[in-house]
């Protein structure tokens, strides 16, 4: 632990810290462009210059200089100020003065720092460098003249994303950032380079010229496009969500989000259900809420009612529906829309027990039936980190392009019954072994066989430091899954049990992946926000709120309970889901026991206490023994990463991504 | 600095170079190059292999050689590394030609010592033969680049033509060199001054004269 002096104040810094980090610990702000906490150190922008003694009598780049015992660092001397002003002047030589037409304006590192270190005017009389803008696909808009060559985007794609697709070609002042032959960036996390870019060189294409940052209302939300529960900031203006940005949460998403989480939001204004519909003579006809509820009141289902929860609903909605069904005397609840029927009697057996932070430290990982890159891009980033630390990864399932290497053991689940010797040796020799069972690995005995492996490998163990390691992980695909399982949205036989019960009424809570032909004799009441498959099959459509339009509790695949806030109002006549269910209780003439959202939340916390506390829910560490044999060829559930949910399917941006990036269609670009 | 741009990736380029592969001779050389690097660090061989590929292209085309996009892709695949990393290297170093080039690549040094010793005349001699930057003469013989210091200031002015340096030039002996090259001969590399062997001082030494005949110790005289 070296002791250093920063501007005369002595402090102790952690071993291995850089001078820049030491200055930050001392509360000094160091301007920087190329340095980023989560990327490797490049040291090429030179903005973070400080004066360090002992050392050469000139300013030094603090980001790349290790803090050493007895250093005297000055961040406020005349020399430092002059040096930084010099660097800023050089950076601005070739940077266009186009802030008024630049989308980065207002949230631009260069703009902010030039206020502190920039000269009042330019001394540069020559022509500025001009660089042709590069195509980087439908999500990233480039204006490469603005690039200051910090190479954050290059380092992100190489180190975090694991796809070498962005590079710096040519040299010196001719250096240009580009993708190879200007092909579109295709990684699922590619748009994070927009946040990383300290200037306006890489900006968001769908958000181009939409708004200035200071016009936007910022709301803290949770992403529902996959089960990782990424923390997001919802930026809205008026009634429209304009963009979604990641929030920093080191336990969940660090500071990244997937492209789908970021760009599906334009789907929130398209194909929306904004008034109730009733099916009359085979056609859905718009009606008023009054008509809709009077029609529902005539259904009189008694206890012959079932509820199916969709992939993106919040816990409050599911709880309200559960209460409604309970009041009617039914417990036919199911959330696994596609018909999965794995055993949910122990929630620890269907949870990502090691946590996202934990999986980074695993040293041998067996992945069963998960195409992690598309199912949970943020977990993929963690796996890549684990492999960089030396973890060995084995995968069961059809081969896909991993970003972390790994060995594929075959497409058939039966390999779990008798793992190859070298795999077994690697897993049993590991200190922190882990198994990840994905959506495709849960069925056909996969979960039980994996649990049996977990038992034999003793995945739940005491580590040397006394902490408990639980390496058994299930990676779900839908944001509502863990919350649904905690609320009892699981029948023994899955959704087939519901179909077998042939209920008079089926409540579809944003459920769009259900095979409704199995409920041909039931009245389907769809409560959701998009006119997608569920609404098409429904007899009554009640317009509800999407995830940005209601307060909600979500539980991610690690069992982390997180709260999301309401950013905007739902369009038209649409109402928040719980109010619809509450009104439905009146229509059926039963009481659900809550009249306000607060009462609903309190009732939910009383019934499932874990849902009332933010943070990891405790499911215990006892895994069922499992056993039995698994067999069958794995087929991954996600065929099209960009179109997995009704919001994304309605989004023009996601449709364009799917067409151009996955199906190789010609780039449809308007003449600019 | 000269503007360099990658030759665009066209169907014609793909058709011409799409099935580029090492000749048996170069395949052995490539293996030899690879073996110089420790296990797991094979990507470090990208620079010698790009040079080898450039020379092979040159041998096929009877030019100095250059690196079409499909050839860079071949090297990337050979080293199992991302293509963008190969392109980064090839575009950074000016010894890799990234656009078609003539039989002889005349690189005239125009930095101060050479300029003072008459590199402007050398450049105009080049221009007289139709050479200009980023252009191959109609007969396919000449490509021209003005470069910065090549480290031959003691025998300025100098040009580098393909792998050889020609020094102590004036318009006459430079023309002779170019004529000889055009005829297919190999002129003597190095200094073109008949009175000079390498870069020894012309007209005899003027400093350290006592060192010429014996190992004189100057330290006492400082």
Calpha distance A477→A480 (Å, rounded)? 9
Q: List C-alpha distances in Å: A655 to A2, A310, A322, B52.
A: 54, 21, 34, 45
Model pLDDT, residue A671: 43
Residues forming beta bridges with residue A367, ordered by sequence position: A395, A436
Residue of chain A whose Cα is closest to the Cα of B81: A164
**Sign of the CA dihedral running A314, A320, A323, A329:** negative
Residues in chain A closer than 8 A to B6 (CB atoms): 169
Calpha distance B182→B125 (Å, rounded)? 15
Q: Which helix (H) or strand (E) holds A319?
A: helix A315-328
Give the β-pairing of A433-437 and A364-368.
parallel
Beta-carbon separation of B88 and A180 below 8 A: no
Which A positions 151-190 lie with beta carbon below 8 A of chain B?
164-174, 179-181
Q: Is the pLDDT of residue B49 over 80?
A: yes
Burial A200-227 (b: 16+ CB within 10 A, else e): bbbbbbbbeebbeeeebeebebbbbbbb
Residue of chain A whose Cα is closest to the Cα of B83: A180
A250 φ, ψ to 5°?
Answer: -60, -25
Model pLDDT, residue A670: 47
CA nearest to A262, candidates A303, A223, A208, A320: A223
**Closest Cα of chain A to B131: distance in Å?**
24
Q: What is the mean pLDDT, run by run of 10 residues, along chain A of 672 residues?
A: 92 93 93 94 93 91 93 93 94 92 94 91 89 92 94 94 92 90 89 95 94 95 95 94 95 94 94 94 94 90 93 96 95 92 91 94 94 94 95 94 93 92 94 94 90 92 90 94 94 92 94 92 94 93 96 95 96 95 93 94 95 93 86 91 94 93 68 43
CA nearest to A72, candidates A55, A53, A56, A58: A53
Which B positions 63-102 lie with beta carbon below 8 A of chain A?
69, 82-85, 87-88, 91-92
Mean pLDDT of the B58-72 span: 94
Picking from B69, B84, B91, the nearest residue to A170 by CB comes out as B91
CA nearest to A163, candidates A140, A124, A200, A189: A189
Q: Is the pLDDT of residue B217 over 80?
A: yes
Q: What is the CA radius of gyration of chain A?
A: 27
Calpha distance A110→A341 (Å, rounded)? 54
pLDDT band per the 50, 70, 90 thresholds, residue B214? confident
Model pLDDT, residue A64: 93
Residues in chain B closer than 8 A to A166 (CB atoms): 84
Model pLDDT, residue A7: 93
Beta-carbon separation of B3 and A174 below 8 A: yes
In 3-state terms, what secondary structure has residue B80?
A: coil
Model pLDDT, residue A668: 53
Beta-carbon separation of A174 and B1 below 8 A: yes
Contact criterion met (CB below 8 Å) for A364 and A430: yes
Residue of chain B whose Cα is closest to the Cα of A166: B84
- For A401, other C-beta atoms within 10 Å of its C-beta total 8
Beta-carbon separation of A169 and B87 below 8 A: yes
Q: Is the pLDDT of residue B163 over 70?
A: yes
Model pLDDT, residue A20: 95
Model pLDDT, residue A120: 85
Torsion-angle region of residue A444: left (phi > 0), alpha (psi -120 to 50) or beta?
left
Calpha distance A207→B53 (Å, rounded)? 44
Beta-carbon separation of B88 and A173 below 8 A: no
Model pLDDT, residue A666: 63
Question: What's the pLDDT tens digit per position in B16-35?
Answer: 999 999 999 999 999 999 99
């Amino acid at each position: 632990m070296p002791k250093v002096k920063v501007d005369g104040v002595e402090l102790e810094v952690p071993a291995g810290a850089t001078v820049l980090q030491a200055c930050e610990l001392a509360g000094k702000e160091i301007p920087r462009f190329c340095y980023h906490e989560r990327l490797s150190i490049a040291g090429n922008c030179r903005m973070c210059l400080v004066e360090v003694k002992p050392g050469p009598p000139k300013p030094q780049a603090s980001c790349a200089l290790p803090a050493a015992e007895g250093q005297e660092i000055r961040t406020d001397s005349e020399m430092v100020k002059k040096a930084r002003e010099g660097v800023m002047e050089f950076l601005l030589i070739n940077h266009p003065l186009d802030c008024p037409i630049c989308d980065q304006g207002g949230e631009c590192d260069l703009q902010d720092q030039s206020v502190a270190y920039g000269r009042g005017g330019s001394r540069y009389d020559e022509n500025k460098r001009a660089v042709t803008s590069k195509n980087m696909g439908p999500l990233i808009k480039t204006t490469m003249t603005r690039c200051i060559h910090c190479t954050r985007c290059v380092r992100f794609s190489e180190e975090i994303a694991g796809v070498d697709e962005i590079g710096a070609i040519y040299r010196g002042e001719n250096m240009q950032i580009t993708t190879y032959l200007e092909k579109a960036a295709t990684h699922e996390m590619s748009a994070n380079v927009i946040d990383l870019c300290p200037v306006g060189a890489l900006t968001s294409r769908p958000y181009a010229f939409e708004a200035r940052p200071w016009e936007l209302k910022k709301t803290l939300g949770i992403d529902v496009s996959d089960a990782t529960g990424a923390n997001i900031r919802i930026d809205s203006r008026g009634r429209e969500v304009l963009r979604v940005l990641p929030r920093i949460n080191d336990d969940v998403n660090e500071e990244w989000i997937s492209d789908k989480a970021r760009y599906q939001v334009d789907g929130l204004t398209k194909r929306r259900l904004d008034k109730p519909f009733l099916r009359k003579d085979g056609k859905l006809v718009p009606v008023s809420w009054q008509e809709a509820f009077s029609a529902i009141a005539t259904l009189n289902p008694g206890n012959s009612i079932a509820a199916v929860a969709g992939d993106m609903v919040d816990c409050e909605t599911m709880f309200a529906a559960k209460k409604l069904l309970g009041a009617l005397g039914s417990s036919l609840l199911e959330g696994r829309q596609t018909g999965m029927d794995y055993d949910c009697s122990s929630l620890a057996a269907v949870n990502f027990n090691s946590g996202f932070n934990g999986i980074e430290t695993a040293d041998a990982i067996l992945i069963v039936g998960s195409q992690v890159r598309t199912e949970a891009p943020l977990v993929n980033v963690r796996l890549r980190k684990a492999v960089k630390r030396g973890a060995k990864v084995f995968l069961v399932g059809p081969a896909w392009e991993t970003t972390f290497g790994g060995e594929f053991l075959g497409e058939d689940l039966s390999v779990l019954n008798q793992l190859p010797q070298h795999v077994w040796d690697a897993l049993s020799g590991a200190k922190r072994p882990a198994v990840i069972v994905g959506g495709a690995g849960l069925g056909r005995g996969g979960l039980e066989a994996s649990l049996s492996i977990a038992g034999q490998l003793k995945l739940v163990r005491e580590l040397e430091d006394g902490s408990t390691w639980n390496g058994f992980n299930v990676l779900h695909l839908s944001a509502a899954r863990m919350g649904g399982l905690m609320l009892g949205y699981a029948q023994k036989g899955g959704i087939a049990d519901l179909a077998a019960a042939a209920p008079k009424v089926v409540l579809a809570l944003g459920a769009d992946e259900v095979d409704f032909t199995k409920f041909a004799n039931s009245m389907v009441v769809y409560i959701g926000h998009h006119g997608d498959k569920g609404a098409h099959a429904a007899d009554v459509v009640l317009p509800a709120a999407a995830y940005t339009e209601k307060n909600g509790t979500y539980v991610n695949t690690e069992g982390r309970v997180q709260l999301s806030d309401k950013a905007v109002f739902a369009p038209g006549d649409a109402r928040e889901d719980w109010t619809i269910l509450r009104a439905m209780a009146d229509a059926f003439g039963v009481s659900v026991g809550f009249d306000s959202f607060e009462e609903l939340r309190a009732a939910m916390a009383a019934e499932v206490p874990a849902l009332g506390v933010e943070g990891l829910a405790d499911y215990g560490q006892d895994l069922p023994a499992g056993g039995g044999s698994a067999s069958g060829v794995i087929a991954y559930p996600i065929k099209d990463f960009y179109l997995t949910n009704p919001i994304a399917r309605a989004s023009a941006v996601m449709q364009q991504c799917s067409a151009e990036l996955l199906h190789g269609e010609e780039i449809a670009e308007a003449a600019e | 600095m000269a503007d360099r741009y990658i030759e665009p990736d066209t169907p014609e380029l793909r058709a011409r170079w799409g099935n580029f592969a090492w000749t048996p001779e170069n395949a052995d050389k490539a293996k030899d190059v690879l073996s110089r690097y420790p296990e797991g660090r094979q990507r470090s061989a990208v620079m010698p292999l790009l040079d080898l590929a450039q020379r092979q292209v040159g041998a096929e085309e009877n030019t100095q050689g250059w690196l079409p996009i499909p050839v860079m892709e071949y090297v990337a695949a050979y080293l199992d590394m991302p293509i963008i990393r190969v392109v980064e290297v090839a575009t950074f170093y000016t010894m890799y030609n990234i656009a078609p080039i003539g039989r002889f690549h005349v690189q005239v040094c125009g930095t101060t010592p050479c300029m003072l010793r008459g590199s402007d005349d050398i450049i105009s001699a080049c221009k007289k033969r139709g050479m200009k930057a980023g252009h191959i003469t109609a007969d396919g013989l000449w490509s021209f680049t003005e470069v910065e210091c090549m480290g031959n200031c003691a025998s300025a002015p100098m040009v580098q033509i393909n792998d050889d340096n020609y020094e102590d030039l004036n318009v006459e002996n430079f023309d002779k060199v170019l004529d000889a090259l055009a005829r297919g001969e190999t002129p003597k590399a190095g200094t073109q001054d008949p009175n000079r062997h390498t870069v020894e001082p012309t007209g005899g030494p003027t400093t350290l004269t006592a060192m010429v005949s014996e190992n004189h110790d100057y330290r006492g005289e400082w």
